[in-house]
Amino acid sequence: MSSGNARGGVAPLLYAHTPNAAGHWDLLHEHLRRVAERAAEFARPFGGEAIAYLLGILHDLGKANPAFQEYLREAAAGRPRKSVPHAKYGATLAYQLIWEVQRDPERWKELALPVGAHHSELACGGTYAQDLDRCLDEDTRVLEALYGYLRAASARGWWQLPKLDPGKLPKLDTTARELFIRMLLSALVDADRLDTEAHFDDARATLRRTWPELETLWNRLEAAQDRLLAEAEDSPVNRVRREVYEACLRAAEGPPGIYRLTVPTGGGKTRSGLAFGLRHALRHGLRRIVVALPYTSIIDQTAEVYQKILGEESVLEHHSDFELKPSGNRSKDRSEAQDEDYLRWQLATENWDAPLIVTTTVQLFESLLGNRASRVRKLHNLARSVIILDEVQTLPPELLSPTLDVLRCLVEGYGVTVVLSTATQPTFEESRLLRELASYEIREIVEGYAEHFRLLERVEYRVLPEPISWQELADEIRRRRQVMVILNTRRDALAVLDQFDEDEDIFHLSTLLCGAHRREILKTIHCRLKAGEPVRLVSTQVVEAGVDLDFPEVWRAIGPLDRIVQAAGRCNREGTCERGQVVIFEPAEGGIPRGPYLIGLEKARFLLREYPAESLNQPDFYRLYYRLLFDAVNPDKQRIQALRSELNYPEVAEKYRLIADDTLPVLVPWDDAEQRLAEWRAKPSRAAWRRLQPYLISLRRNDLERLRSDGWVQPITETVYRWCGQYHKRRGVVAAVHDPSDLVI
């Protein structure tokens, strides 16, 4: 191994990494150059290539520290010693260089923050200078050595440092700048990880997929659509679906920007939205389509639709069910146990280098506003893409300002087209408090959507004039052969169940039951509905999240209007009767969830008093509802926008949570759960985890602490628990219900 001194102008041969399995050392200057070139390539779609190249040169420059070189030698000889930091030295050097060149107390952050974060997380831009000043004062000799190596390597022609154009940087104190720095980190991290992976684990690198081109996907969709049209009968539903599809193709020729796709239930929104995305991407040279949905239950359905049309190898499905660590074993043991299929999927989710990604809104937005390097890594691949936000009305109102602002930044600075897709469209641009999209022309993809809603009108709404008790509700249920009742909370659902004897024929669905148990109940319900047998179901909102049910009559506790419409989507779904009946009632007892849900409920209550119930069949009625809702909720309750302008990345990541309470999976004693657990622990592959998934319920971390101390749960690993209490065949995990206004579905 060679070493040397850079002070005389000769750059020594230093190293970035210990030898790989073939015994080859990774030269530092070659690693820096390769990462710089690749980071520049990743940042080119958003105009950040010059800065990203410089980031690549600086990111591991701290490894030129003689102490770090000694650390590598010791590690290679099998004598591990205490790790030597390197990222902070590259960040400090960037800080010093930018100050010397521009005398600007702010511009260093575009370089120093990503360099300092590339192995960890973005620091707070407002206080990070203190850490770098301390490094300047305390580590002068190290920094001199690094500066000497940088100059000597440049003189030797190993790289050519670009000159930064300050005019290309977003203006100070803007949220655009905050996202730009995060995007630079993304380009740097992905470039660095891929280069390091190629050195240490070439076999792993070769497992990264080669994805089909967008044009191939478009040809497959077009052929599938031709087959569908040839087989479809001429009916009002199929005419609406055809018109929606054709409208999407016409709108796809329009310029990049923000679009609105308004389609009634059953109107073919999933397929038509994909058609818009593929056609628009090809028309404007965009790189991929990202479809974000609010519930994992409908992600599987959507991904399955796409896979049937385009092929399984064309779709990357990425959500939290696949992100949880498979076991409590050490990383090395876990990696050795994973099969190739799981590893391919895992690699693909790291950077979203795929033509079509189906993910959750949580994964998308908590990455866009996150600060961990591993989570941010994928973001540069969002530049020049189409993002379809399905069921966009589910975005939390109290987070709308940062959510919409980051979308605005993507559209303005990264060539992104955003599609707002739902049957109940929010009016983001018309709210008095929401100003992020006020100046935007949001283009309507289907201009004649009102007529489509009229043609597909399947239900009649009725509002009960007086509140109703649980006993009275139970009596109404008994009088009907086939009816579904949806309550606001799990506790309310259990209270209604308590009105029935154990031998009475009543079904229950909520997340107190595991997925396998719910599927078994749903199978029985489907058979009974089809046979015309009595079916009486008491449920929570769990059935509103993509569950395929079709009751002639649905009763829904008063709630936000969009939830009422979701419930109505489970009534007369197939049009088997002339008009299904949706009854909206006010419970005389029970709890009401707090926060925006309660505000939405109150606005719905007001509108249903002021307007006739049939207004719920008119799509523009929901625009009025959302104007009232958005004007009553603080869209930036956590002051995230101010924190973003201050570049306070840790606080932004902490406060921006689409799901307020973190949950962990708990295994329940149902059917062959223990066998599936044993298989997963023996070989924690993607397939094994998916087989275990149906036997898990999700409980809040805070509740788990209480339940664990009471002996109801025990840990299996650090991230998976086992239910030790009673699991009731009708009620499920009853002891988990704690909060009287529990909104967990």
pLDDT digits (tens, 9 = 90+) for 631-682: 999 999 999 999 999 999 999 999 999 887 678 899 999 999 999 999 999 9
User: Could you give the angle at the alpha carbon of 63 between the alpha carbons of 125 and 348, nearest 5°?
Assistant: 70
Q: State the chain's mean pLDDT as an integer.
A: 89
**pLDDT given at position 689:** 84
| Domain locations in the chain as residue ranges | 15-206, 214-315+354-454, 458-618, 660-736
- Report, as an integer, the average pLDDT of 333-343: 55
**pLDDT given at position 102:** 59
- Report, as an integer, the average pLDDT of 550-562: 96
Residue 743 pLDDT exceeds 60: no
Distant-in-sequence, close-in-space partners of 223: CB < 8 Å, separation ≥ 6:
none
> 50-109 pLDDT, tens per residue?
889 999 999 999 999 999 999 999 999 888 788 888 999 999 988 887 776 656 666 778
Q: What three-state secondary structure class fits 382?
A: helix
DSSP 635: T
Is pLDDT larger for residue 276 or for residue 235?
276
Residue 333 pLDDT exceeds 70: no
Two tokens, residue 198: 């190629």
d(CA 556, CA 453): 21
> CATH: 1.25.40.10, 3.40.50.1370, 1.10.3210.30, 3.20.20.70. Which one for 15-206?
1.10.3210.30
User: Which percentage of the chain shows pLDDT scores above 70?
Assistant: 91
Question: 289: closest CA among 313, 273, 269, 268?
Answer: 273
d(CA 281, CA 587): 48
- Report, as an integer, the average pLDDT of 729-735: 88
Distant-in-sequence, close-in-space partners of 705: CB < 8 Å, separation ≥ 6:
none
Two tokens, residue 29: 């200057």
3-state secondary structure 111-166: HHHHHHHCCCECCECCCHHHHHHHHHHHCHHHHHHHHHHHHHHHHCCCCCCCCCCH
Residue 319 pLDDT exceeds 60: yes
Cβ atoms of residues 86 and 62 within 8 Å: yes
Helix (H) or strand (E) holding 536: strand 535-539
DSSP 258: E
> 174-192 pLDDT, tens per residue?
899 999 999 999 999 999 9
> 573-612 pLDDT, tens per residue?
878 888 999 999 999 999 888 888 999 999 999 999 999 9
Two tokens, residue 419: 């599609």
Q: What three-state secondary structure class fits 4?
A: coil
DSSP characters over 14-81: -EEE---TT---EEHHHHHHHHHHHHHHHHGGGT-HHHHHHHHHHTTGGGGSHHHHHHHHHHHTT---
User: In the chain, how long is the greatest CA-to-CA distance?
Assistant: 95
> 464-508 pLDDT, tens per residue?
999 999 999 999 999 999 999 999 999 999 999 999 998 788 999
CATH number of 214-315+354-454: 3.40.50.300
d(CA 437, CA 607): 25
Handedness of CA 587, 589, 591, 596 (dihedral sign): positive
**pLDDT given at position 172:** 58
Question: 89: closest CA among 139, 26, 164, 125?
Answer: 139
pLDDT band for position 329 (50/70/90)?
very low
**pLDDT given at position 321:** 57
Helix (H) or strand (E) holding 492: helix 490-497
Phi and psi of 413, rounded to 5°? -110, -10
CA 426 → CA 178, 298, 524, distances in Å?
A: 27, 20, 36
Percentages helix, strand, coil for the chain (3-state, rounded to 5) are 50, 10, 35
Phi and psi of 720, rounded to 5°? -130, 135
d(CA 405, CA 398): 13
Distance, C-alpha 185 to centroid of its chain: 19
**pLDDT given at position 100:** 66
Two tokens, residue 565: 């419409």
- Report, as an integer, the average pLDDT of 377-389: 98
Return left, alpha or beta for 403; rule: phi > 0 is left, psi -120 to 50 is alpha, else beta.
alpha
User: Could you give the angle at the alpha carbon of 294 between the alpha carbons of 293 and 300, nearest 5°?
Assistant: 60
Sheet holding 385-390, edge to edge: 316-318, 356-360, 288-293, 385-390, 417-422, 258-262, 443-444
Question: 508: closest CA among 463, 468, 477, 472?
Answer: 477
> 685-727 pLDDT, tens per residue?
767 888 898 999 988 888 888 888 888 999 999 889 999 988 9
Sheet holding 713-715, edge to edge: 696-700, 663-667, 721-723, 713-715
d(CA 75, CA 26): 14
- Report, as an integer, the average pLDDT of 546-565: 92
d(CA 526, CA 535): 9
Residue 297 pLDDT exceeds 80: no
d(CA 49, CA 352): 19
Q: Which fold has domain 458-618?
A: Rossmann fold (3.40.50)
Residue 197 pLDDT exceeds 60: yes
Question: 443: closest CA among 426, 420, 422?
Answer: 420
**pLDDT given at position 8:** 43
Q: What three-state secondary structure class fits 271?
A: helix
**pLDDT given at position 722:** 95
Q: Do domains 15-206 and 214-315+354-454 have the same CATH topology?
A: no
3-state secondary structure 579-624: CEEEEEECECCCCCCCCHHHHHHHHHHHHHHHCCHHHHHCCHHHHH
**Burial (Cβ within 10 Å: 0-12, 13-18, ≥19) of residue 137:** exposed
